[in-house]
Every structure is written in C-alpha cells, then in structure tokens.
A and B are shown apart, each in its own frame.
Chain A
Amino acid sequence: MPSKPLQNQPRLPSSFVLVKSQDGFSEYEHTGNGLRVLHHEIPGTGVISTNITYKVGARDEGVGETGLAHMLEHMLFKPTTFDQGRGTESAAMLFERETGAVLNANTWRDRTTYFFSYPKSHFTRALTIEAERMRGVVLTDAEFQPERTNVLSEFDMYNGDPYFALDVAMTNASFVSLPYGHETIGFREDIEAYTTEKLQSFYDCFYWPNNATMIVIGDLSAEAALAEIDQVFGTIPRGPAITRAFPREPKQEGVRRVSVVRDSQTNILALGIRHDGFTTTNWLETMLLMSILTDGPDSILYPLLIETGKASRLEGSIQPSGDPNIATITITLSAKQRHADIEALVMKAIGKVTVADITPRLERVKSSIINREAFDRDTSLRIALDLTEYVSADAWPRYLETKKLLRKITPATAHARLMEQWNEQRMIIGQFIGTQS
C-alpha cells in the first residue's frame, strides 16, 4: 500500500496519507478502510462536484447476469436502511428534490460512477448520501421490481435505435472469453431473470470503500474535504479483498461478421478493429487514427464516402476500457448503396494509406485535441466526470499529460499501428440492413 509522509502539504487528518500530487490534483488514501480521494480545488466558484467511482462494471458480470452492475446502479437511488430508519424517501432523490443539485450515475465496462454537482454548503450532505448507500442499499423485491421495469424501459429506448442495435451485435461478436462481449445494460432476457439474491451478492462483493475513489473538485480545500470525508466514511470497514480472474481473449483468426435486419430505411456498415486498453500508447494511437480516418472533410474516408454521396454519415469511435476492446468506424449508407461495395472501398483505401498521408493530419488532430482541452474543463462537474475513466484505469495523472502523451506518437508509429489493426482477419464487420430501403 503506497504511503508517503506528509511534507509541505496542508494539515490533513491522520487517517489519510498522500499517494500522489500533480499540477494541483492530489490523491489520498484512507489508512483504515482504503477509500481513495482525488481532490482539486477551484476557489471562488461556490460549487463542488463529487463523483464516487467504484471499480465494478459490465466485465464483472457472469453468463446470465449481464447488466447487473447497471441494475445495481439504479438501485442505489432507492431508499437505504438509513432512509427507512428515518421514514423518508431515498436521500439521493431527496437531495435533488430539495436542493436542485445535479445528480446522476452511469455504468461502463470496468466501473460504476455516481456524481453530484451542488452549491458548496451541501458538501456534507452529498458525502453522507454516498456513505449510506455504499453499504446500506435495500435490495428487496418491493424496491427492485418497479425499478427493473424502468431498466427494461431504458433498454427498449436504446434498442429502438439502429446504431445501438448494431453496436450490440458487434460487441457480442468481438469477445469469446473476456466479459466485454455484452453492452452495459445487458440482454433483455437477463434483466428479466434477475433476482434480489444475485443483486445482493454482487453488491456485497464490490461496494466497499477499498474498491472506490471519491473525486472532489471545486470550491473547498483539501484539508476541509478530507476532514469531512473522514468523519462520514471513516467508520465504514474495509471490505474483503476482491479476486478477479478474467480469462484472456483467444486470438481471433478470421473475420467475424454480424448483421441486424429490421423494418427500417436505414442501412449502416460498421468496421471494428482491436486496440489495447485506455491510456496505453496503442489506445491513443487508435484514437488519433479514428480521427484521421473519419473526422472532417480532410479525413481519409470523407472524400471517398461523403463527397461522392455514397454515405450520409461517417463516424469513428473508441471507448475507454481497462482491457483491449474494439474501436469502430460507422458508416450510414446513402440510398441504393450496398454494404459490400462500401466495405471494399474502405478497406482498399485504408490499405493504401502512407506515412505521408498521415503526417499533416496527425499534427492537426493533436493540435485540435490540445487546444480543445480547456473547453472540456469548463466546470467542476466536467472535470470530475472526465477523470472517471482515468481513475478507473488507475492512471489519473495522465488526465494532465495530454501534450506529453501525444508527443510520443509519430506518423511512423501511427502508420504502423494502422497497418497492424486493419487486417481483415482480426476485424469485426457488421451490417444493419433496413428492409424498407
């Protein structure tokens, strides 16, 4: 367990040790229960945003349990044992209803995060809500059944979208062993089969202070923040050690193809390529390459697809996840275009890309990312949310090192990555086929 003596630091509760400090952000660990705190002060705003990130997500779900982490996320907005003791509704919902605080949560592959943004006078209240629901959620049928209906409604909302439907199929096809092969919301069939016992077991495994990081950004000193956190969380015991044994994904030998056929006018082609986990150089290279291939009129594919009228929409996407995952180029076909023709065109074009093609584009994309960064850090809430994936990847200092990380990537290394990734035998290719077109 890393620990450093407190030198030139604000006076902190003895229960916290400084883990690391960089550019005004500091990480601390509670010596009693292992809770991590990541703090950054923005004085004078009167606003604080807090974000507690648990290291549990879709990848912790077994077969038949897909979407459990997300279902549990919903349950953390239900009354806790503490609320029942007080005879009130859920403290989290009451917080919003009484103060207008912004609140929400989301679940991803490796983590689940709960966040609030509010006037600073509510700091203790926000912390208390998180502490109470860390171990006090009530998982009975009375609370669970109506919420399951809401989750099914959410599922149906997403599932009606052709892009989501194709994404689900692509995700399923991408992984044989590693449990990234399902969308975070899970399969409808699994959601319908949840029991409170399954939820309870999942909750008791992962919802502990030593599996969580509390991110605190805003108008509050570290000293004050940690004193309060210690007060509110200090008595929650450390949880049992979490053992995870994820299988390694077997090597893919041969292209994998999926299709979704629906009564629709839309036709979509999706091309998925493999990349390493978030904040690795491989991930960054892939992110830059997605932009080079798809972003704007000067991208490699825009003139071939958009300017020729073959496609009406072209997007590249990559998601942050701890383990290797897939990045996808999604192409919405114009009327009368065929999936196979567009696929052939794209693969041929990418195969011919040279270092000279990449060089000017790479510099532009890097420059754009660096110059836009300030816009993504306009508020304490944006900062708290953007830090989530870095915290989940145990790499929060990288949030502050964009320039340094991007400098490592050269046209030659990017080109090599492109050629390695765009090998059909390792790709996942999906078609959304609209039968009305």
Chain B
Amino acid sequence: MHTTTKTGNGYTVTTLTKPGTPLVKFYLSIDLHDWRDNMPYGALDLYTDLLLRGAGPYSKSAFSNELATIGATLEVDTSMHFLTFELSVTKTHLKRALALFETMITAPLFKPAEFAQAKQIMLEHIRSARENSKQYAEVNLNLALYDRTERWCPVSHDQLAAEVTAATIKDVKTIHKAVLPRAWQITVGGDSGAIKTVLSCVAAWRIVWPLRLVPAPTGTVTPPKLKQRLITAAIPSRQNIDLAIGQRISLSKLDPEYPALAFGIAVLGNWGGFAGRLMSTVREKEGLTYGIYCRLEGTGATQSGHLRVMTFFSPQDTEKGLTSTFREIKSIIGSGITEAELTRFRDIIATAHILTKDSLLSYIDTIHVNGLLGINPDMLETLIARISALTREEVNAALKKHLDIKSMVVSAAGPTAKVEPRLRAFVKTIS
C-alpha cells in the first residue's frame, strides 16, 4: 500500500492505494474547533443522527435500505471537535454509495417527527450510559484533565442530556448550513480506480459547497489546575470498580521527547496485549484483575494529551490493585526500562505497525485519525523509525521528566460506596 497527500480546492486528501482490493473506505472530516467556547454537543449529536434519517427522495428506512442492499455502511460522528463522515463499500457499488452520500449532504430532510424521535432515543441512551462504569470513569477523568474548550474534553451526561432536551430543529439546520462550506479533510483507501472515482465526486461536491474559510480559534488554552485527585461515580448495579487513572502530558507528537515517552508507556502497559509490565504483574503474578493497560491519548502535532491507565478491580481488591498499579508506575519512573525491554519493545512496536498495514481498514483509520491531529503518513513513518533508534537513556529520561505521581488523578466508577473511604485514604498516600 502506498500513500499520497495533496491539496485540492477547499480540501486536503490523503489516499491509500492497495492494488486489487475490492474494498473502498472514505472519511470526510470538518473541523469545528472554532466553536470550542460554545460547542453545541447536544444539537451536534442530533444533527449527526438526523442526517441518516432521510434525504432527497428517501425516507429514513428507504435510505437505510439502499445502503444495506449494496452492503455499504455510512456513519457520522463528532469527536475531538470534528464532524466526521465514514463510508465503506465495495468497489462494485461505489458509485451508488457516493450518490447516496451526496444526497445526504445536499438534501437532508430534517423532518420534525424524526427529530422528536431522535431526541427521545438519545435521552434514553444517555440514561443507559450512566450505568456504563467503564465509560463513566474515563469521561470523568478527561473532564478533570482538560479544559472544556480542548478537543479531548468530553461532555458530561448531565450537560449532554440538558443540551439534547433544549435543542431545536432550527439548531440542527443552522449547523448544517454552517459546516459543509468549511475546509474538508479527506482520507480514501482502495485501488487506484476507486480513489479516482471518489476524488472526482469530491471535486464536484466542492462546487456545490464552495469553500468558506473560518478563522482559527485564537488564544492559548491552559489545562485546568488539578482540583481533585480522586473522582468517584457510584453505580451500585455494577460488580467491579472500573478505573481510569491519568495525568496530563505536556508533549505533542512532534516533540523530540514524545517517541521516548510513548515507548516507555508501552513498556509499562502495552495496550491490548500481555506484554506490558502492568499485565505481567498486576494480572499474572498477583491475580488482581483480568486486564490492565495504559497509553498516551489526545496528542497531535500541536496538542498535548494525557496518559490513561485503564483497569478494573473487585471492590475487595481495589486498594491492593491500586497499590500494585502505582508501585509499577513509581518503579518505571524511578528505575526506567531495562536493556532487554528496549530490545523487545522495538520489535513489538515494529510488528504492530506491520500488522496494522496488513489491513486496509485498520491502516486507513490510523492515517485519518492522526491526520486530523496534524500527523501525516510520512510523519507517522518517521515516528516509527525514530522509535527503532531510541536509546534506553532517552526513554528513561522521558519517563522521569514527564510522569509525575502527584499529578495523577484516579477516577473510579461502580459500587464505589463500598470502597470510598479506603480509596480516599489510598490517594492521600500518593499525594
């Protein structure tokens, strides 16, 4: 597979060509970050839902049927202050899928009955989400670490519910008029013929929606000062305490120390596998949890992000589990990684990259998400190359400089009433 990036009239596009593939995947993202002071989360969520509820001659079910018949999937979401459309289809049905997409963005119906229904369903989903302890722990962590105007700052369940309740169909129509004339960031993967078809459609759409530049947001945003080290959300129906432990990291992906820190974090808690120290000790040796991982999130070319440790413990093991977790974090800050770990994780990270590139769908996702944050494919390759040349000293220096137990927040959700006093006592010991 090979990638190219170029700029068109009102859009940038990155293409990922895989000869002979029948698959086509297409992302179109629009930056809404200049709305950061007053991001209309509720109306935006309703907008993304309503786009799929009828357009042009198609009712909601007719539109859905058209997509289903050709085996296409079309999703719309807002995260990181981007509006993103994601379309996947086989090459055989590409033109039909693109026609449906065009109808959706040029002639959405926004029917009042659909609006009312979307609102009601969304409020029910928010109600259910209040019992998702894993998600709740993560949301609360990010609310503590980020200023509300930052891309990675989520919206609380309460705020979202209030905004959805208050949103009107006029708000949705206003959003639609405002977003499409903006600059588009596109990533498309497939064979060269499919890519050519997509790009000619994009050029035509750009004529329908001529570019209107919007000023970038001004002023710098300061991460919030740490107010509380422990945040709890009581969800008595759950059996385990879900935890998100984190800290702001003042590095962007282009910072020279970033690769070293990312490497060290992988050694600590390599996401999704068994290779990290946290899994080896807290799970395998001590049997305290089924899964414990960590990674850096939210970093881009200019944005700083955070470290997140994700795990869960039974209520009776929460204190022990946290003690073990922080022991490992302290150890890696204090003593760093070993030479053997340096060698191993070079291979692990290189293999992960090979396996990602084995899949058009995985690779294009990686390219697009990084692209939104200012990291193009060449920069990604440079980062990987940089990682393979790191020294142990560089990694250990980055860990020591950027990880700080005293800046870490523990966010817990689940049957926390049982453990809250012990949690508070524990957090005092790491303050």
By a beta-carbon cutoff of 8 Å, the part of chain A in contact with chain B is 45-47, 77, 93, 96-103, 117-119, 146-147, 149-150, 153-154, 156-157, 159-160, 162, 262-266, 295-298, 306-307, 309, 312-313, 332, 334-335, 363-365, 367-375, 378-381, 434, 436
User: Across the interface, do B360 and A100 meet the contact criterion of CB distance under 8 Å?
Assistant: no
Q: A263-B237, A371-B71 are in contact. Are A146 and B284 (CB under 8 A)?
A: yes
Contacts of B121 in A (CB 8 A): 306, 309, 312
Q: Which of B279-314 contact A (CB under 8 A)?
A: 283-291, 312, 314
- Please judge, given known A-B contacts A117-B355, A266-B131, A371-B93, whether A296 and B124 are in contact too, CB under 8 Å: no
- CB contact list, B1-40 vs A, under 8 A: 22-23
Q: Are B64 and A298 in contact (CB under 8 A)?
A: yes
Question: Within the assembled complex, what's the spacing in Å between the Cα atoms of A266 and B237?
Answer: 9
A336 to B330, CA, bound (A): 49
Name A379's contact: one of B90, B239, B358 (CB within 8 Å).
Answer: B358
Chain B residues packing against A (C-beta within 8 Å): 22-23, 60-62, 64-65, 68-73, 88-90, 92-93, 117, 120-121, 124-125, 127-128, 130-131, 133, 236-240, 273-275, 283-291, 312, 314, 344, 347-352, 354-355, 358-362, 414
Q: Which residue of B lies closest to A101 (CB)?
A: B351
Q: List 25 A-B contacts (CB under 8 A).
A: A47-B358, A97-B275, A98-B348, A99-B351, A101-B351, A119-B351, A146-B284, A150-B287, A160-B133, A160-B240, A265-B128, A265-B237, A312-B128, A332-B128, A335-B124, A335-B127, A364-B68, A365-B68, A367-B71, A369-B71, A372-B71, A374-B23, A375-B71, A375-B90, A378-B23
CB distance A96 to B273 under 8 Å?
yes
Do A162 and B312 touch (CB < 8 A)? no
Q: Which residues in A have their C-beta under 8 angstroms from that of B239?
A: 156-157, 159-160
Docked CA distance A334–B120 (Å): 9
Question: With the chains together, A407 CA to B428 CA distance in Å?
Answer: 66
CB-nearest residue of chain B to A437: B127
B68/A93 in contact, CB under 8 A: no
| Contact pick for A297, options B64, B125, B128, B288, CB 8 Å | B64
- Is B237 within 8 A of A162, CB to CB? yes
Q: Which residues from A are CB-within-8-Å of B286?
A: 146
A373, B236: Cα distance in complex, Å: 41
Known interface pairs A45-B358, A370-B71, A374-B23; A157-B64 also in contact (CB < 8 Å): no
A434→B131 CA distance, assembly (Å): 11
B358 to chain A, nearest CB (A): 5
Q: Is the CB of A149 within 8 A of B68?
A: no
Known contacts A47-B355, A297-B60, A363-B69; 17 additional CB pairs below 8 A are A98-B347, A100-B355, A146-B286, A147-B287, A150-B284, A160-B239, A262-B237, A265-B237, A309-B120, A312-B127, A313-B128, A369-B71, A371-B72, A375-B71, A375-B90, A378-B359, A381-B355
The docked-state distance in angstroms from the alpha carbon of A104 to that of B121 is: 36
User: How many interface contacts (CB-CB < 8 Å) are there between A and B?
Assistant: 164
With a cutoff of 8 Å between Cβ atoms, the chain B residues found around residue A100 in the complex are 273, 275, 347-352, 355
Closest residue of chain A to B22 (Cβ to Cβ) is A374
Minimum C-beta distance from A118 to chain B (A): 7
> B289 — which chain A residues lie within 8 A by C-beta?
153
The one of A159, A297, A367 that contacts B70, using a Cβ cutoff of 8 Å: A367
User: CB distance A378 to B361 under 8 Å?
Assistant: yes
- Does B69 contact A374, Cβ atoms closer than 8 Å? no
Please report the C-alpha to C-alpha distance between residue A262 and residue B275 in the assembled complex, in whole angstroms: 37
Chain A residues with CB below 8 A from B236, complex form: 263
Chain B positions within 8 Å of A102 at CB level: 273, 355
Q: Are A146 and B274 in contact (CB under 8 A)?
A: no
A106 to chain B: closest CB distance in Å?
14
Closest to A367 in B: B69
Q: A99-B348, A150-B290, A379-B359 are in contact. Are A156 and B240 (CB under 8 A)?
A: yes
